[in-house]
Amino acid sequence: MSDLPATLPTFRTAGPIDGTRMRFFARALRDPNPLHVSDEFARSLGMPGRVAQGSMTVAMVGYAVARVVGQENVLGLEVRLRGPLFEHRRVRVDGRLVDGTERPTYRCEARTDRDELLAEASVTVRQP
Amino acid sequence: VSRSEAWTADVGDLVGSFSFTVDRADVWPVDWAAYLDDPIYQDPVVAEAEGYPGIPVPIGGLIFFSHLDGDWQSRAGIDYRRSLAAERSCELLGMIYVGDEVTGRTVVAERFEKTRSSDGVLLSFVRLETEYRTGDKIAMRERVLYVTPERTA
């Protein structure tokens, strides 16, 4: 028996990811990749503008689970980054508990408010 | 850029190592920028009331390259003009808190190639594995897979 919820409450960013948030996140992680701070660099690669760090999506996925089960009960996560997070998007993360795994595992998806898939993830948690 | 010029660290080789103290200034911007907006990542009193000994680092709030020297990219064969992080996994073996002394080392865990079926471009993959230690305990094992398009096959 599990006391874990079968479905995670949806995590939603309270607002859009803008350039200031991208810069703060990149600075906190000392990310040297100009893709996260420079529109000019991003456009030189054929992208419409700067792209948030994949780690920002990872943080949202991790938190979507951690806020429900407690961070100390999150044992691991595997995140497959499927698409870039461009500026001015809001993000939501949904997850559901899956059967047939050795440890309780949530399969999660992160999408933008334009329904762009950002990431698919498996998050393993401690059995309560 | 040919593959032979692109990297010098093979599987098992050290890419870099680091040592740092987790600073509060490294944590709150992660909380704020990603809209986690959870006071446990900002206020030690709230964190302690929630049962933590201090401000925890959010999941995803540490990444290996933050404290490596700039040359790690050439050793690993990462070029920001062409390389993308495709996967990131974290095995969380213990919590990391503001004020913790963290040491780590990053090695090449895997290299492989694939040809993209849509356009025949050869893709080089490198998976970097980093162990984060607080004291003598492993707190986190992180793996990041980068993909770099090399040339038309």
User: Closest partner residue to B80 among A21, A35, A72, by Cβ?
Assistant: A35
Give the separation between CA B137 and CA B134, rounded to whole angstroms.
Answer: 6
What distance in Å separates residue A20's CA from the closest CA in chain B?
Answer: 8
Contact list, A32 vs chain B (CB under 8 Å): 65, 70, 80
* ipTM of the complex, rounded to two decimals: 0.94
Look-up: residue for tokens 């490596």?
B68
Q: How far apart are CA B76 and CA B147, in angstroms?
A: 11
Q: Residue A63 is nearest to which of B26, B59, B85, comparing CB atoms? A: B59
Instruction: Write the pLDDT tens digit of every residue in B36-88.
Output: 999 999 999 999 999 999 999 999 999 999 989 878 999 999 988 888 899 99
Tell me how far apart the alpha carbons of residues B90 and B92 are, in angstroms, rounded to a whole number. Answer: 6
Over residues B87-127, the pLDDT tens digits come to: 999 999 999 999 999 999 999 999 999 998 888 889 999 99
CB A108 within 8 A of CB A65: yes
Please report the residues numbered 24 through 53 in chain A whose beta carbons come closer than 8 angstroms to any beta carbon of chain B: 24-25, 27-35, 45
> Considering the entire predicted model, what is its pTM?
0.93
* Mean pLDDT computed over A8-20: 97
Compute the nearest-CA separation of A1 from chain B (Å): 24
State the helix-helix crossing angle for A19-28 and B24-33, rounded to 10 degrees.
150
The verdict on A62 touching B (C-beta cutoff 8 Å) is: yes
DSSP states along B79-130: -TTT-EEEEEEEEE-S--BTT-EEEEEEEEEEEEEEE-TTT-EEEEEEEEEE
What gap in Å lies between CA B72 and CA B32, rounded to an integer? 29
Which residues of chain B are within 8 Å of residue A45 when distances are taken between CB atoms?
A: 81
CB contact under 8 A, B58 and A59: yes
